[in-house]
Amino acid sequence: MNPTTVPSSEPSSPPTPSIAQGRRATRGASMGFAVDSYDIYLPVVAVGPALSYFMPSSSLSPGTVALLNGMVFAATLLGRPLGAVIFGSIADSLGRRRATLIAMYGSGVGTLALALMPGYQLLGIGAMIGLILLRLVTGVFLGGQYTGAVPLAMESSPKPKRGLYGGLITMGFPIAFCTVSAVTFSVQALNSRLSEQGAYQQWGWRIPVLIGAIVTFAFAYYYQRTVDESPAWRERGARKGPSPLAQLLRGDSARSLRQVLILMSGAWLCGNATSASYPVALRALDDITPESATAVLVIAEVVLIAAYPLCGALSQRIGRRRFLSLCGIVAATVAPAFYCVLVSNLTTSFVGRVLLTAGLFLSAICCFGSTASYLSERFRTDLRATGYGVGYSMALIVASFYAFYEGLLAEFMPQRYTTAVVYVIGGLLLLVGALRGPETKDVDLTSDTLASTR
């Protein structure tokens, strides 16, 4: 399937990205993904155990507490699509690097503000309202980070390395989970040794949050000093005209966006089933301790760290379309089998659970090893950041209601097996999305091109 060339007003051919430039941009995007993911995990892993600090000590029902917990996490997710729209337009109009830096410093300020947040004793119910609003605003900046950084990295990468570099970028997710889990566990262990009742709820949770803010500012400074603007955007330069979002919703670009949204909705359904539903089911098993469950999850995430670059390289070898189609088939068939075996408690050994969990993670979400490269290749240069950000983030909206879908399914089947159906649906959407799209691994990102949708 040949790309449909979009005429450019620039007569000269764009500069070819160097290997060194590609490595710097990829390193920056990977670190940015890790910083971004660290901040996303903070409400669940670090702040979650201390949410009582922002609530009245009594008078709230367990259902209300659970709702507020969910709102804090959801606020971050809901801010990301808005950030993708805002910063995608900035990245396409004013430059990928500029948009990334603004988003990085903005998210750093938001995380620092979280570390300094007063609690219910000082602000009353305003503490919880402020926490939710702060996470929403921070989510906007977090959505802007990868919207600028990932297209920049892909445009700066040599074509034969694009798959590998995309996988290296995605490593940031499991690295962040392992890091925030280790920091939170260390702080909680220190709290236990000091024997201070309620110390973590009062001040301990601020330590991993403050570390996140410091790392974000340090990374933004590093990115500013080491990463150049992408050759494709430099050659094209800033242009006036209709907004990138308006152009994205028309013609071939709109068809590309619809296809990407189907594919990424499937990927995110599988992702949420793995990162949100499965840990709850694992910890609910009768014979597993919280520490053992955390260790199982961390080891599986370490496996993903090694697997994502390999998956990206494989997609470069066999093609993105074929790789993502295979991922959809495996996610719809193999992942539910792993999940059912795990929640049925057919194996109770630690090693057995680690192996099965690693198998579940690999079969369910290895597709993310190629999404950075594939989504960047699906949109032409002047819309690439907006297309990537909107396609990647808007699909989260459908997938974020996974708990609601599982609740509906529980009316017809045992609750603990409902997540297996989510895997099937997610895998099928991923497969359909991949088959509806073209092969993209040979698309030239240094010129205004759009892979054909036919």
* pTM for the whole structure: 0.85
What is the per-residue pLDDT for 18?
A: 58
Count of other CB atoms within 10 angstroms of residue 454: 8
In order of 71, 131, 140, 173, the CA distances from 23 in angstroms are 38, 37, 27, 19
Same domain, 167 and 225: yes
Same domain, 211 and 347: no
Q: Tell me whether residue 237 is in a domain.
A: no
How many domains are contained in the chain?
2
Same domain, 389 and 430: yes
Higher pLDDT pick, 402 / 274 = 274
Higher pLDDT pick, 95 / 338 = 338
pLDDT, tens digit, 9 for 90 and up, residues 303-360? 999 999 999 999 999 999 999 999 999 999 999 999 999 999 888 899 999 999 999 9
Judged by average pLDDT, the poorest of 63-72, 220-229, 312-321 is 63-72
DSSP 410: T
Question: Of 211, 232, 253, at which residue does a domain stop?
Answer: 232
What is the per-residue pLDDT for 284?
A: 83
Same domain, 222 and 248: no
Same domain, 198 and 163: yes
pLDDT, tens digit, 9 for 90 and up, residues 16-33? 555 676 677 777 777 777
The C-alpha torsion from 38 through 42 and 43 to 45, rounded to 10°, is 110
- Residue span of the structural domain in which 140 resides: 17-232
Question: Tokens 């399914």 identify what position?
Answer: 409
pLDDT-derived band at 2, boundaries 50, 70, 90 = very low
CATH classification of the domain holding 299: 1.20.1250.20
The answer for residues whose C-beta is within 8 angstroms of residue 90's C-beta and 6 or more apart is 98, 99, 102, 144, 148
Structural tokens at position 61: 């029902």
pLDDT-derived band at 66, boundaries 50, 70, 90 = low
Distance of CA 169 to the CA centre of its chain: 11
The answer for residues whose C-beta is within 8 angstroms of residue 195's C-beta and 6 or more apart is none
Same domain, 223 and 319: no
pLDDT-derived band at 378, boundaries 50, 70, 90 = very high
Among residues 251, 249, 269, 264, which one has the least CA distance to residue 391? Answer: 264
Question: Tokens 């670190």 identify what position?
Answer: 31
Q: Residue 329, SS3?
A: helix
What is d(CA 269, CA 365) in angstroms, rounded to the nearest whole number? Answer: 10
Judged by average pLDDT, the poorest of 186-195, 220-229, 268-277 is 186-195
Same domain, 29 and 119: yes
Q: Tell me whether residue 297 is in a domain.
A: yes
What is d(CA 378, CA 108) in angstroms, rounded to the nearest whole number? Answer: 30
The answer for residues whose C-beta is within 8 angstroms of residue 57's C-beta and 6 or more apart is 120
Among residues 385, 372, 373, 381, which one has the least CA distance to residue 449? Answer: 381
Section 408-421 average pLDDT: 90
Query: Phi, psi (5° rounding) for residue 452?
Result: -65, 145
The answer for residues whose C-beta is within 8 angstroms of residue 198's C-beta and 6 or more apart is none
Strands 449-450 and 4-5: antiparallel
139, 79 Cβ separation under 8 angstroms: yes
State the maximum Cα–Cα separation within the chain, in Å, rounded to a whole number.
Answer: 70
Distance of CA 69 to the CA centre of its chain: 20
Query: Is 85's pLDDT higher than 60?
Result: yes
Question: Tokens 């013609």 identify what position?
Answer: 251
Judged by average pLDDT, the poorest of 59-73, 98-112, 128-142, 168-182 is 59-73
What is the per-residue pLDDT for 167?
A: 93
